[in-house]
Amino acid sequence: METAPYRKIIHVDMDAFFASVEQRDNPDLRGKPVAVGGSRERGVVAAASYEARQYGVRSAMSSLVAIRKCPHLIFVKPRFEVYKAVSAQIRAIFAQYTDLIEPLSLDEAYLDVTERTNADLTATQIAQAIKERIREETQLTASAGVSYNKFLAKLASDYRKPDGLFVIKPHQGLAFVEQLTVGQFHGVGRVTAEKMNQLGIFTGLDLRQQTEAFLIRHFGKVGHHYYSIARAIDDRPVTANRVRKSVGSENTFAHDLTEEPELLAGLEPLIDDVWAYCERTGVYGRTVTIKVKYADFQQITRSRTALTILNTRSALHHVSTDLLTTVLPLPKPVRLLGVSISNLDTVTTSANGQLALDL
């Protein structure tokens, strides 16, 4: 029996996207530590330049802590409309190479280029061409990872940031994973990594030596996932152009969140992602759902259905933030937030300028 050919997946991740856009547009900020976000007492860093990261400043950090770490940190107010416009430029570049594009957020996406490669054009060459086009057209840098599944492609894109390109070939996958610390695995947060360490699991090799039953017993259903990725297995397809019953965006944070300002800051780009889809497609919804996954992987959702279509970003923002307040105060740290809308309808603008449903 013939084995199925390996897929060719690229993960493209913009380097310090929000902060890099600000440094591009304001030469005075170049080479300086920059934080996008609010500098007030309850402000939160939404993004940090690489210069700021050298001082330990990171996204979702409170502004007060960031200033203590880097007293000369420069705060810049977010310009989400600009970031969305640049993101659209980047996605147009992706579309020149494949139709199978799965955006994860404004600044990263998976691309399946299996059908576009041949003896004369490799996935690595496509990734390099995309990086060059992004630099030429936006004056920004991106890092790219190339591999045979999504898990490894994302690991690869992180491996040589910024402006990196790293390839993990099929015969290298297992060895690459086994030498990583579990904290380097995408989706394994600090609390989970500490729990693994307490169980004697420090590396990918340690994780691979555990039985699936052991991992499920200690980590619940996500133990299935850990069992697979420890073996460099990830069968998830790159999914594009799906018929949607809902539209959502979520993010697993590099560090667990514990404070309300951090949560609200983490919610903003998710709302932006969902609203960008609504504006681009003319599809809007009535039901808003937020998802909260805690550090111990317990997950809860909160939903609310409006009487009419939510046809403004402010309406979506109001319902989303209101739902978030229902889970406060937090019983434990949060590793993932998600926002989605459902009960979708297509909305167009009528001759008198009002929004009308397409029936």
Catalytic residue, candidates 22, 108, 262, 268: 108
Is 134 exposed, middle or buried, given 0-12, 13-18 or 19+ CB atoms closer than 10 A?
buried
Long-range contacts of 164-168 (CB under 8 A, 24+ apart): 165/124, 165/127, 165/128, 165/131, 167/123, 167/124
Told to judge if 108 belongs to the known catalytic residues of this protein, a careful annotator would answer: yes
Rounded to the nearest angstrom, the gap between the alpha carbon of residue 230 and the centroid of all alpha carbons in its chain is 21
Q: What are the phi and psi torsion angles at 68 (to 5°)?
A: -65, -40
Binding site members: 13, 107
Instruction: Enumerate the known binding-site residues for Mg(2+).
Output: 13, 107
Sheet holding 45-48, edge to edge: 45-48, 34-37, 74-76
Bridge-partner residues for 355, per DSSP? 349
What length does the chain have? 359
Q: What span, in angstroms and rounded, lies between the C-alpha atoms of 249 and 103?
A: 10
Q: 96 CB contacts (<8 Å, ≥6 apart)?
A: 133
Point out the residues that are catalytic. 108
